[in-house]
């Protein structure tokens, strides 16, 4: 098949070159966006008198017919089509004849692929925000359910302080909230139309770029034609957003894998989100959590691939930029699937409070609270810190917890300290007292839930 751009060539491409050069195998998923961009473009050409109204209408009729044929599977693309732009335009010319050759007036594949990419990514971003919002709903529901349930808080993977499970859920809520906000920022920045930038320098034709931007629901046209065709920042921003969000999921998936072990037994993941062993009949493996960790590296790779493609490319367009799509599509599909899986896995996971409670007496979880209690009674915190550290050592030597220390034990550490000064150092009292803004007390967790719920309602309305 002769190429639409082959006028100055005496030879067709070698078959191996055709296959290496073609992007139709992956960019055909943007056929709807390509047709939408073409319809907006020819509508504007008709309004500007660059083509007649009748010509514009005939081209639009042909494009809509091709859209239906692609959707029904009647049109099957191959490497001779090269890319989705040529694949559609060549069929348009066959469908409507010579008038179809006027569609490409005042545009280039350089700006056309950018239009397709931005429209496609804009739709996908909105879908991913929807999936993340559902995930946040699940988190809020779990946070409310476990707002009073006490668990172990860790630092350095060691027992640190007592916290509520609701507090843990709300920590992850904040992470995914930022993920949504990053996507919103990306969406706002990328929602400008490159259509009409042409190859790199605009056109001599009296086009109206504001009009095509309006028709395609962009906020306006891009400012500089050369930047328009060579910019892939929007894709890089999205891939960065995806990588950060996948990192958040991977961190939680790591905890799920720990919590599911026999050593922890903190959670019971529903059977429908686990797998078994081909040789060990007793196994119930948290494979979804492990896969979430693994797929994080895949999305990181998509980001690094495009950063590497872009790092040495001079202005304006280069064929290297064709490599922007496969990694982008992969990250979209992977991120979306991971959010869906995690949300549903979390929904069907219950926390085993009986097993968690067995850990609350270990690791001197209330040590910091005792130091703060001493500080409230006039002992400088740094001295209180040292006193409690010596109390911990005394407990380890005696094989007891803080309640097992006598007045004699305490005064031998510091003559200002008595058992009476300890007050209520129960784990529940320690948690309930942490009412500082953003703290773990159930009352404060419920405030966080209310704020999160109101914020999420706003997202749902957008």
**156 a catalytic residue:** yes
Q: What is the pLDDT of residue 17?
A: 86
Query: Distance from CA of residue 226 to its chain's centroid?
Result: 30
Q: What is the pLDDT of residue 15?
A: 87
Q: What is the pLDDT of residue 423?
A: 84
Q: What is the pLDDT of residue 2?
A: 55
Q: What is the pLDDT of residue 14?
A: 83
| 204: CB partners within 8 A, 6+ apart | none
Given the residues 41, 245, 277, 386, select the one marked as catalytic: 277
Please, are residues 197 and 184 in contact by the beta-carbon 8 Å criterion?
Answer: no
- Six-digit token string for 433: 């007292």
Nearest-10 Cα torsion for 180, 181, 183, 185: 170
Provide the terminal-to-terminal Cα distance of the chain, rounded to the nearest Å: 46
Given the residues 90, 108, 156, 443, select the one marked as catalytic: 156
CA angle at residue 299 from 293 to 300, to 5 degrees?
90
**Chunked in runs of 10, what are the mean pLDDT values of the chain (462 residues)?**
64 83 94 98 98 98 98 96 96 98 97 98 98 98 98 96 98 98 98 98 98 98 98 98 98 96 95 93 94 97 98 95 97 98 97 96 95 94 97 96 94 93 92 97 98 95 76
Q: What is the pLDDT of residue 6?
A: 65
Please, are residues 211 and 92 in contact by the beta-carbon 8 Å criterion?
Answer: no
| 232: CB partners within 8 A, 6+ apart | 306, 309, 310, 321, 324
Q: Going from the N-terminus, what domains does the chain have, and what CATH number goes with each?
A: 15-105 (1.10.275.10), 110-357 (1.20.200.10)
pTM of the model: 0.94
Bridge partners of 154, per DSSP, are 159
């Amino acid at each position: 098949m002769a190429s639409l751009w082959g006028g100055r060539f005496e030879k067709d491409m070698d078959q191996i070159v055709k296959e290496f050069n073609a992007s139709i195998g992956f960019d055909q998923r943007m056929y709807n966006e390509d047709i939408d961009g073409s319809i907006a473009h020819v509508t504007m050409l008709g309004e500007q008198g660059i083509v007649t109204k009748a010509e514009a209408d005939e081209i639009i009729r042909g494009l809509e017919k091709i859209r239906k044929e692609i959707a029904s599977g009647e049109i099957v693309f191959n490497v001779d089509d090269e890319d989705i732009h040529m694949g559609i335009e060549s069929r348009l010319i066959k469908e409507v004849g010579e008038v179809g050759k006027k569609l490409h007036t005042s545009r280039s594949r350089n700006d056309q692929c950018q239009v397709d990419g931005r429209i496609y990514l804009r739709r996908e971003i909105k879908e991913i925000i929807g999936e993340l919002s559902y995930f946040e709903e699940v988190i809020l529901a779990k946070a409310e359910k476990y707002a009073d349930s006490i668990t172990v808080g860790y630092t350095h993977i060691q027992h640190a302080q007592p916290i509520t499970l609701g507090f843990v859920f709300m920590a992850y809520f904040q992470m995914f909230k930022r993920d949504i906000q990053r996507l919103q920022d990306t969406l706002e920045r990328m929602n400008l139309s490159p259509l009409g930038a042409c190859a790199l320098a605009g056109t001599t034709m009296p086009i109206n770029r504001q009009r095509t931007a309006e028709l395609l629901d962009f906020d306006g046209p891009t400012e500089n034609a050369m930047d328009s065709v060579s910019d892939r920042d929007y894709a890089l921003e999205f891939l960065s957003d995806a990588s950060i969000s996948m990192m958040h999921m991977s961190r939680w998936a790591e905890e799920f894998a720990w919590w599911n072990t026999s050593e922890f037994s903190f959670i019971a993941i529903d059977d429908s989100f686990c797998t078994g062993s081909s040789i060990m009949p007793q196994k119930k493996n948290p494979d979804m959590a492990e896969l979430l960790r693994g797929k994080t590296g895949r999305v990181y790779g998509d980001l690094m691939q495009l950063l590497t493609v872009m790092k040495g490319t001079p202005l304006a367009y280069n064929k290297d930029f064709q490599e922007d799509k496969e990694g982008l599509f992969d990250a979209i599909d992977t991120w979306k699937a991971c959010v869906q899986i995690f949300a549903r896995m979390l929904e069907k996971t219950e926390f085993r409070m009986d097993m968690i409670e067995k850990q609350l007496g270990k690791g001197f979880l209330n040590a910091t609270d005792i130091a703060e209690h001493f500080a409230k009674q006039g002992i400088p915190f740094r001295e209180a810190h040292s006193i409690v550290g010596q109390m911990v050592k005394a407990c380890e030597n005696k094989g007891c917890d803080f309640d097992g220390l006598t007045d004699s034990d305490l005064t031998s550490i510091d003559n200002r300290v008595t058992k009476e000064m300890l007050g209520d150092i129960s784990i529940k009292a320690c948690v309930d007292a942490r009412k500082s803004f953003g703290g773990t007390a159930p009352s404060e967790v419920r405030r966080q839930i209310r704020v999160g719920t109101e914020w999420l309602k706003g997202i749902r309305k957008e």
